[in-house]
């Protein structure tokens, strides 16, 4: 199973490299423009691990402290509304699509959104039309990468790994552009 999982992750990363670099570059351009104006980027996150790495270490140069926000948990939304500025640029590390309640708090703050997410066929997770750009993490809906012979359910989630890949490609691009501008 470990070999199958690694092979699947490698496939996702290769697809990501082939298809997502224009969106990564667009995101980096937008972030660098904000930083040049003296503003940091809001980082609403969702998932098992994004809030552990997003905006940490060298990413703190350009990003606010990440906030794990689940639209269905009012206390997390209230904290996000309190702690982030109106009209900020937000790099939203979502899970699978973007839930309507997440769209609502971002709209309430009039934040401009760069979205990192995968596809989701459910209508309540439909992507809004006003995204500045979207970076597709590329994993299939269901968040399970490996089939197990004789077992009807796939296992081993790629979501956190692919969020990390997507975030860090944006982070590296932003940091390299900021360094070049000095």
- If one counts every other C-beta atom within 10 angstroms of the C-beta of residue 7, the result is 11
CA angle 167, 130, 33 (to 5 degrees): 55
- Supply the pLDDT for residue 12: 96
- Supply the pLDDT for residue 54: 81
Strands (E) across 51-176 are located at 67-68, 89-96, 112-118, 133-136
Write out the residue range of the structural domain in which residue 59 sits.
Answer: 2-181
Comparing C-alpha atoms, which of 136, 131, 176, 132 is closest to residue 20? 136
The structural domain count of the chain equals 1
Work out the pLDDT band at 123, boundaries 50, 70, 90: confident
- Supply the pLDDT for residue 7: 96
* 3: enclosing H helix or E strand: helix 2-19
| Average pLDDT over every residue of 108-124 | 94
- Supply the pLDDT for residue 55: 77
How far apart are the C-alpha atoms of 139 and 44, rounded to whole Å?
Answer: 20
CATH code: domain of residue 116: 3.40.50.10490
| Average pLDDT over every residue of 171-180 | 96
Helix axes 74-83, 100-108, angle to 10 degrees: 30
Per-residue pLDDT reduced to its tens digit, 40-54: 999 999 877 776 778
Total-model pTM: 0.93
């Amino acid at each position: 199973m470990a070999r199958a999982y690694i092979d699947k992750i490698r496939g996702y990363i290769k697809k990501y490299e082939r298809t997502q670099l224009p969106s990564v570059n667009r995101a980096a351009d937008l972030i660098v423009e904000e930083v040049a104006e003296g503003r940091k980027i809001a980082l609403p996150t969702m998932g098992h691990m994004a809030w552990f790495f997003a905006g940490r270490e060298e990413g703190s140069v350009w990003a606010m402290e990440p906030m794990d926000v689940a639209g269905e948990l009012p206390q997390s939304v209230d904290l996000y509304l309190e702690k982030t500025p109106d009209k900020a640029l937000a790099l939203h590390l979502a899970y699978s699509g973007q839930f309507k309640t997440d769209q609502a708090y971002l709209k309430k703050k009039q934040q401009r959104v760069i979205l990192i997410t995968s596809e989701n066929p459910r209508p309540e997770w439909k992507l809004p039309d006003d995204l500045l750009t979207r970076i597709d993490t590329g994993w299939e809906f269901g968040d399970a990468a490996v089939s197990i012979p004789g077992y009807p359910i796939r296992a081993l989630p790629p979501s956190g790994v692919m969020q990390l890949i997507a975030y860090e490609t944006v982070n590296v691009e932003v940091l390299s552009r900021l360094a070049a501008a000095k």
